[in-house]
Amino acid sequence: MDNLALIESFGDFKDEKGISKIDLMAIIEDSLKTLLKKRYDSDDHFDVIVNPDKGDFQIFLNKKIVEDQMSEDDDLEIEISEAKKIDPTFEVGEEFTQEIPLAQLGRRNILTLKQILATKLQEHNNAAMYEMFKDRIGEVIVGEVHHIRGKQVIILDDEGNEYILPKENQIPTDFFKKGESVRAVIEKVDFKGSKPQIIVSRTAPKFLEKLLELEIPEILDGTIILKKAVRIPGEKAKIAVDALDERIDPVGACVGVKGSRIHGVVRELRNENIDVIQWSKNPEVLVKRALGGVEINKVEINEEDHYALVYAPVEEISKIIGKQGQNIKLASWLTDYEIDVYREKQEDDDVELKEFDDEIEQWIIDEFTKVGLDTARSVLDKDTDVLLNLVDLEEETIEEVKRILREELE
């Protein structure tokens, strides 16, 4: 097999993998040097010249000219008499360059060279794939379910690229069948041995962001700014949006008429409930909006600890916390503030004393009402010493009444 035939034997591989002629020549040069190191323990005495235009290469061995009968290594030295047969002007100590035909390396070494070439071509392809997909992290891919391996779903796109969708990156209600079309976002590219693995996700917030870009042109063109997206996959998500033009309603533009614009995203995410809020630079406003349409009396912000205290009526507490704590958790993620909610004590939290007739005897209640103390708070707000002067009751009785009232209100 001559040099050109060797190169052409890898032509199919080059065409299939899209390796340029220059890259292929560089791989051949590197492979030849690797073989020469194995064959001669070193490639220091060899020059490999690759001609990408002709698709050919040459191997030259540089020998040192020595006196006759003084050669210790015929691979690295040549006697003067032999050198002068080629060029009478040669002198002892000079360098003699000899071209080595590939066939001279022997059949076994040529087979070894082909194996080295195949390995280096595969390494080149793996490195090229890694670099290509490393730059595509965050992009949405579309492919078909090729097969399901354990808990992993293997996806192939139209170009034959393989993607791995691990179980932990699947929405809890995801269920896939072979041949089904799947969308996911490229999360990372890892090496497993020498082969790159492209890991995709359907649970990452980035997947939600990219789906919104695909469904809502104003986000893609920058008219609406997607500030942040957070998710509990398959359950609930919150996104914060803003617009540079004050005349644009970013929330309305994202949701659409009767939710028409966001419905496709919700369906792709297996009916994940998505709250869309307008971003605000004011942290108090942002926290209120992030918690949704609930009544909030006051928000206290601790910027140093990134902490927010929310005070709300008792009937709003469960709405603020949400199912399994999802609402307050997502609001904390969206705002970057750890949010705690407290019940706000209000006047309308008061209870009339007559409501306690099952725990407090009626004649005791009458003692308080006849001096104008007819609600629980009106009694609790006064010191026991003051009450002793107002009602005809023992101190022990007054303290017991206060205890009952306090347990109810606090």
Q: Picking from 64-68, 251-255, 306-310, which range would have the lowest pLDDT averaged per residue?
A: 64-68
Average pLDDT value over all residues in the chain: 85
User: Which tens digits make up the pLDDT trace of 30-69?
Assistant: 777 787 777 777 777 777 777 766 656 778 878 887 888 8
Statement: residue 121 has pLDDT above 90 = no
Q: How sure is the predictor about 346, in pLDDT bands with cuts at 50, 70 and 90?
A: low
Choose one of 332, 349, 366: the last residue of a domain: 349
| Lowest-confidence region among 24-38, 152-166, 206-220, 383-397 | 24-38
- Residues 87, 58: contact at Cβ < 8 Å? no
Distance of alpha carbon 104 from alpha carbon 81, whole angstroms: 23
* More confident position, 87 or 342: 342
* Range scoring the smallest mean pLDDT among 40-54, 152-166, 176-190, 278-292: 40-54
Q: What is the pLDDT at residue 10?
A: 46
6-33: average pLDDT? 62
pLDDT at 349: 65
Does 116 share its domain with 14? yes
Please give the residue that has the higher pLDDT: either 383 or 231. Answer: 231
pLDDT of 141 higher than 80: yes
Place of tokens 């990408």: 52
Q: How confident is the model at residue 76 (pLDDT cuts 50, 70, 90)?
A: confident
Task: For 314-375, give the secondary structure using H, E and C.
Answer: HHHHHHHHCHHHHHHHHHHHHHCCEEEEEECCCHHHCCEHHHHCCCCCHHHHHHHHCCCCCE
pLDDT confidence band for 257 (50 / 70 / 90): confident
| Residue-level pLDDT at 410 | 65
CATH of the domain at 30: 3.30.1480.10
45 lies in the same domain as 128: yes
Q: State the total domains in the chain.
A: 5
Q: State yes or no: pLDDT of 4 exceeds 60.
A: no
Instruction: Please give the pLDDT value at position 38.
Output: 74
Range of the domain at 299: 280-349
Do 223 and 255 sit in the same domain of this protein? yes
pLDDT at 394 > cutoff 50:
yes
Please indicate, yes or no, whether residues 158 and 171 belong to a single structural domain of this protein. yes
> Looking at this protein, which amino acid is placed at residue 317?
I
Same domain, 44 and 116: yes
The CATH number assigned to the domain holding 219 equals 3.30.300.20
- Is the pLDDT confidence value at 189 over 90? yes
Three-state secondary-structure class, residue 131: helix
Last residue of a domain, one of 83, 99, 132: 132
Q: Report pLDDT for 12.
A: 45
- Regarding whether 125 and 18 lie in a shared domain, the answer is yes
Residues 304 and 395 placed together within one structural domain of the fold:
no
Q: What are phi and psi of 234, to 5 degrees?
A: 80, -5
**Are 251 and 339 contained in the same domain?**
no
Residues 27 and 87 grouped into a single domain = yes
User: If you average pLDDT over each of 56-60, 63-67, 117-121, 227-231, which comes out highest?
Assistant: 227-231
Give the separation between CA 208 and CA 221, rounded to whole angstroms: 17
What average pLDDT does range 5-15 have in this prediction?
49
Residues 303-321, mean pLDDT to the nearest whole number? 90
First-residue to last-residue Cα distance in the chain:
94
This prediction's pTM: 0.66
Contact assessment for residue 61 and residue 48, using Cβ atoms and an 8 Å cutoff: no
Residue 80 — very low, low, confident or very high, per pLDDT cuts 50/70/90? confident
**162 with 208, same domain?**
no
Please indicate, yes or no, whether residues 288 and 357 belong to a single structural domain of this protein: no
Same domain, 99 and 171: no
- 89 or 369, which is more confident? 369
pLDDT band at residue 396 using 50, 70 and 90 as cut-offs: very high
Query: Domain boundary residue among 201, 216, 243?
Result: 201
Distance between CA atoms of residues 216 and 210, nearest Å: 10
